[in-house]
Structure 1
């Protein structure tokens, strides 16, 4: 890492993608050349960002499951309680609830610390059961995540920074959703892309004009 190149913590969906949800091909030009650690932070299951790091050709440094699983410098740490989440979802389904995913549930197949339900699921029942098990439901706009209270991307970023022996305020973060707010609060500089939700825009230090990776690229260009 050079003195004038900050480490990055980047959300994936809505931030490294285009409007259709596809990964923007320009990410393969920007991220492998970044001369500092790049953290991929997502609400998705652990294998997704790890695989993406592999194809970018960068060191696997990730925050997955909204902070529930962290990988940095070859060390994996878990912030959430997977057994309690699984028990709560079992109770939800016993009471007639349905996670509303296809038969092959790729959303949850590889999750380790939380379980996600489609936004078409019975939210009231989902939240009620979560409360009984001392869990919380986090609405990312894409899904309802049942998880251990207090586990957030910001917690994950602190864990990454600690492992890398880096002050978390050295990081620059870019995101688009309410689940990026805690990461904005931990990082030294935070940017929301134009397509971000209201919570992310309100929490970010700067809202850029470009949407999706257009906005992210403008931030990276300004930092180089």
Structure 2
């Protein structure tokens, strides 16, 4: 039997240009075990991807702030502290960096995402001044201001409890700092070659291939092992 999967999206199921790689629609619909889409994106994005893959909508969104499994949605992150940090950031001249139409945060329930073009030093300074209940996570695609009490790894533990699957049975694949907690919980973890230093250091294996090339190679190996 193939193992259950915990898969990041950006940088892991995508091409270098950020598009979903078509191989995801070839390899994942018939994967005969749970597939968890674990992402920093707002909740609707992984739900939509799961839908178009024909998979159960088992997702960890907003870096663990929202978990949806077995038809139930749990909002685990506290949105008030991150929003207060961002408001203080704005008061000191900061900007979210998305321009006039901020669809990045339009449907985000538990955190706030800022462009990598913003003043990181100021953002981290304001966040530190707010105390230990909020943190900044750099996913390589955005700065996420989030509650310290949530993570993808804790989300995976919740999914495992609901599905009655030990988190140690999962194979996790990812590419950035926000995947470190998932790697710590899963029994086997892979960082694609384009991964940042934090993910590379935390993974059991750092792949030679980048983006979906790396993910596809892991899935092929896992299927071969199961035969």
Give TM class, smaller chain.
Answer: over 0.9
Query: Any stretches of 5+ residues in structure 1 without a counterpart?
Result: none
After TM superposition, the score normalised by the length of structure 1 is 0.95
Counterpart secondary structure, 2:102: coil
What value does the CA root-mean-square deviation take over the aligned residues?
A: 1.1
Residues 25-67 of structure 1 deviation map (CA, whole Å, 9 limit, x = unaligned): 1110111010011000111100000010111110000011111
Corresponding residue number in structure 2 for 1:51: 48
State whether residues 137 and 177 of structure 2, in contact with CA within 8 Å, keep that contact through their aligned partners in structure 1: no
User: 1:70 is paired with a residue of what secondary structure?
Assistant: strand
Q: Distance between the aligned counterparts of 2:11 and 2:123, measured in 1?
A: 26
* Structure 2 unpaired stretches of 5+: none
Is residue 120 from structure 1 mapped to residue 117 from structure 2 by the alignment? yes
Whole-Å Cα distance in 1 between the matches of residues 68 and 92 of structure 2? 36
The residue that corresponds to 1:96 in the other structure is: 93
User: Is 2:71 aligned against 1:74?
Assistant: yes
Aligned to 2:220: 221
1:149-175, CA deviations, whole angstroms, 9 ceiling, x for partnerless residues? 132111111111111111100100111
Write the distance in 2 (CA, Å) between the matches of 1:199 and 1:222.
Answer: 24
Is the CA contact (8 Å cut-off) linking 2:14 and 2:20 kept in structure 1?
Answer: yes
Following the alignment from structure 1 to structure 2, what is the Cα–Cα distance between the partners of residues 179 and 7? 20
Cα deviation, residue 129, structure 1: 2.2
2:206 is the counterpart of 1:207: yes
Contact 2:193 2:208 (C-alpha < 8 Å) held by counterparts: yes
2:130 is the alignment partner of 1:133: yes
* Secondary structure in structure 2 of the residue aligned to 1:102: coil
**2:62 equivalent to 1:61:** no
Matched, 1:191 2:196: no
TM-score, normalised by the number of residues in structure 2: 0.94
SS in 2 for 1:104: coil
